[in-house]
Chains A and B, each alone.
Chain A
């Protein structure tokens, strides 16, 4: 068995990143400079796999999601989907954003039908499919509500139903639960896991939280930041649901956390040297917990 798990030997990877680099302009006018979001990243995502990308802010997690989705084009390297180069966005690789992006002028059901309308499905077919997936995320009762009437957790569930309804090959989740309170987050993690075990979709899941990654995923990629690179790939061989009290799980958690913390420290030093928008003193106050450092999640 190779370190990626046994699936690689059987099928071609669902998604393959090959030496992918991407940089952005930051700032405006004369103050503008190039910022390398990701540099030379290569990894595969296997069919039916739940892959977690973990790393501090500014390590290019969101950039990777956008590149796989085809919302952005890499400066160098290539992204492959089912062996073909990615040229644009499409409903086979669906993104779930942190700020849900439900359309406020549509009811929950109409939101779920949005993608189906684009696919050109008949009305009754749309309704039938929407209901099926709303049921899957336990939102049938709220199908006629508008997004502002939903709680944060329900909004994310609606987004999930909207994504699942078009039956994508890959679901790309960009910190989907980051804005939720811990309790809701817990519930949604369990639900997502059940959905995944049911549908066996390929999922790429970006998160700040090592625990979340360890709980849900088959493999965890820890990213190094500025520029974003692959630091370490760890397969998670434990069966679901995972027990954090199990010594083996706990050990893995400690090991990944250590990688993560080291990465954070490097980042903090770099930020200090660079004199990014942080004021003196606030670095040490903010850094150890791994909260957002300057560059934010848009990158």
Chain B
């Protein structure tokens, strides 16, 4: 429906395609972006082989893979670090006093502001982008761990104690599962911060030949290729929706329901 309206407006406006993109261009760019590469898309005899070719060699799939790899790594490191930090904030007064305000401050700083520093430290490299992704999500994950652990009801701890649970058992069998709902909400937030940071980072410093989704956008801008630009945006939206709405929301919903927190 919206695509039709878009096409109509384009036709009525009478502008050239480079001023205002018709959806047809975007769709074809989307298709060629997915299917380009060494395989000739659409040629029927190679269609079967193309399936692997598409996955292996197309610009978009490559870019998506590269972006996902970056965010996977950055987010993974953020997860490990953030969890440790959050845990320390809860269990060590000194840590809380020293680092509590710092974490809050770091979280308030838009992570792309780390980019200049990252480039000076790591050069124009993967690591610079990973660093920005890490800084983007670290705060949320730390806070989520801290808040999750802090809101564990006292009764659970007392129940565990009265059964004679050791400190480790209390942590692993009671505190962690009890903190999970809050923690997952924080993960979701951390993910979306990481995703935004990643794209911002890739947009600013796309390494030639190793573009992620952000890099594709920059490249399309340089070539004034509207079709490809919008196509890339659509792919980005799809990934966001997929990960955020489908994966994280479902996970969150499931946990909230199981934990008896969902509105019933």
Give A106-135 as 1s and 0s: 1 = Cβ < 8 Å from B's Cβ atoms: 000000001101110000000000000000
- B163 touches which of A97, A114, A146, A148 (Cβ 8 Å): A114
A89 in contact (CB, < 8 A): yes
A105 touches B163 (CB 8 A): no
Give B191-220 as 1s and 0s: 1 = Cβ < 8 Å from A's Cβ atoms: 000000000000000000000000000000
Give A87-117 as 1s and 0s: 1 = Cβ < 8 Å from B's Cβ atoms: 0011101110101010111000000001101
Rounded to whole angstroms, the CA-CA distance of A97 and B153 in the bound complex is 13
Nearest 4 CB-CB pairings of A with B:
A148-B260, A101-B155, A101-B159, A115-B163
B162 in contact (CB, < 8 A): yes
Indicate whether A118 sits within 8 Å of B180 (C-beta atoms), given known contacts A97-B155, A101-B156.
no
B165 in contact (CB, < 8 A): yes
Indicate whether A69 sits within 8 Å of B258 (C-beta atoms), given known contacts A99-B155, A117-B173, A118-B169.
no
Give B151-175 as 1s and 0s: 1 = Cβ < 8 Å from A's Cβ atoms: 0010110110111111001000110
Rounded to whole angstroms, the CA-CA distance of A115 and B161 in the bound complex is 10
A147 in contact (CB, < 8 A): yes
Rounded to whole angstroms, the CA-CA distance of A43 and B165 in the bound complex is 28
A91 touches B180 (CB 8 A): no
B259 touches A105 (CB 8 A): yes
Residues of A within 8 Å of B178, CB to CB, are 103, 105
Residues of B within 8 Å of A118, CB to CB, are 163-166, 169
Residues of B within 8 Å of A69, CB to CB, are 162
Residues 238 to 264 of chain B near chain A (Cβ within 8 Å):
258-261, 264
B161 touches A89 (CB 8 A): yes
A160 in contact (CB, < 8 A): no
Rounded to whole angstroms, the CA-CA distance of A118 and B174 in the bound complex is 12
A95 touches B162 (CB 8 A): yes
Cβ of A268 to closest chain B Cβ, rounded Å:
29
B116 in contact (CB, < 8 A): no
- A95 touches which of B158, B173, B261 (Cβ 8 Å): B158
Rounded to whole angstroms, the CA-CA distance of A114 and B173 in the bound complex is 9
Cβ of A270 to closest chain B Cβ, rounded Å:
28
In the complex, what residue of chain A is closest to B257 when comparing beta carbons? A148
Residues of A within 8 Å of B174, CB to CB, are 103
B123 in contact (CB, < 8 A): no
What's the dominant secondary structure at chain B's contact region? helix
Residues of B within 8 Å of A104, CB to CB, are 258-261
State which size class the interface on A falls in.
Answer: 20 to 34
A166 in contact (CB, < 8 A): yes
A–B Cβ pairs within 8 angstroms, 23 of them: A69-B162, A89-B161, A89-B162, A90-B162, A91-B163, A91-B164, A97-B158, A101-B159, A103-B156, A103-B159, A103-B174, A104-B259, A105-B177, A105-B178, A114-B173, A115-B163, A115-B164, A118-B163, A119-B164, A146-B260, A148-B258, A148-B259, A166-B163
Rounded to whole angstroms, the CA-CA distance of A36 and B242 in the bound complex is 57
Cβ of A129 to closest chain B Cβ, rounded Å:
14
In the complex, what residue of chain B is closest to A90 when comparing beta carbons? B164
A136 in contact (CB, < 8 A): no
Residues of B within 8 Å of A115, CB to CB, are 163-164
A71 in contact (CB, < 8 A): yes
Cβ of B261 to closest chain A Cβ, rounded Å:
8
Residues of B within 8 Å of A93, CB to CB, are 162
Rounded to whole angstroms, the CA-CA distance of A101 and B258 in the bound complex is 15
- A105 touches which of B161, B169, B258, B264 (Cβ 8 Å): B258
Rounded to whole angstroms, the CA-CA distance of A148 and B258 in the bound complex is 8
Cβ of A287 to closest chain B Cβ, rounded Å:
29
Indicate whether A146 sits within 8 Å of B164 (C-beta atoms), given known contacts A105-B177, A117-B173.
no
**New A-B pairs, 11, CB < 8 Å, besides A95-B158, A103-B178:** A89-B161, A89-B164, A91-B163, A103-B159, A105-B180, A105-B258, A114-B163, A118-B165, A146-B258, A146-B260, A148-B260
